[in-house]
Amino acid sequence: MIFDKTLLFSDAQAITATAASTNALDFGAIGRVYGHAADLERDVARSVKIPLLVQVVEAFDNLTSLKIDIELDSTTTFTPDKTITIGTFLLADLKAGFKVLWVLLPQGLSLRYAQLKYTVTGTAPTAGKITAGIVAAVDGSGV
């Protein structure tokens, strides 16, 4: 998989407590066609699957599990308007090289901003890093 720096949520981000991803994605403002009263509708994932790859790049220690969510919001406050759970992963799984592949956005989604939220359960880790972002395609390794 090839990561695009502009589509990264986390770039070897150390997870030592519950936290949001270092970066949030902005899908852009919705425009209005000249002469029309209503804004255009946003449908980011219309008829196409947008893959998200979350990869452990440094093994975790201490924690019991790590929950990863996609938070979507209409503003940068991330209260959030919608949360999609990717999954909860046990310490035994969170070794360097562990990959989670997820289809990022459901069709019909109209929210402008997205970030990941990492929720730590158990003792705070002193080691563990994640790189996560939208990728163009998935390799054939059965990730």
CATH of the domain at 86: 2.60.120.1110
What residue type is assigned to position 9 of the chain?
F
In the prediction, which pLDDT does 39 show?
74
In the prediction, which pLDDT does 17 show?
97
Asked whether residue 48 is domain-assigned, the answer is yes
pTM of the model: 0.86
Q: What is the pLDDT of residues 30-43, one digit of tens each?
A: 777 888 887 776 66
Domain around 88: 3-28+40-135
In the prediction, which pLDDT does 42 show?
64
In the prediction, which pLDDT does 140 show?
62
Q: Please tell me the distance from the alpha carbon of residue 43 to that of residue 26, in angstroms, as a whole number.
A: 14
Adjacency order of strands within the sheet including 99-103: 3-14, 129-135, 51-58, 99-103
In the prediction, which pLDDT does 38 show?
79
In the prediction, which pLDDT does 45 show?
59
Asked whether residue 143 is domain-assigned, the answer is no
Asked whether residue 77 is domain-assigned, the answer is yes
Pairing relationship of beta strands 51-58 and 99-103 according to DSSP bridges: antiparallel
Is the distance from CB of 65 to CB of 91 less than 8 angstroms?
yes
Asked whether residue 140 is domain-assigned, the answer is no
In the prediction, which pLDDT does 143 show?
44
Number of domains in the chain: 1
Which residues of the chain are under the pLDDT cut of 70?
41-47, 105-109, 138-143
Asked whether residue 47 is domain-assigned, the answer is yes
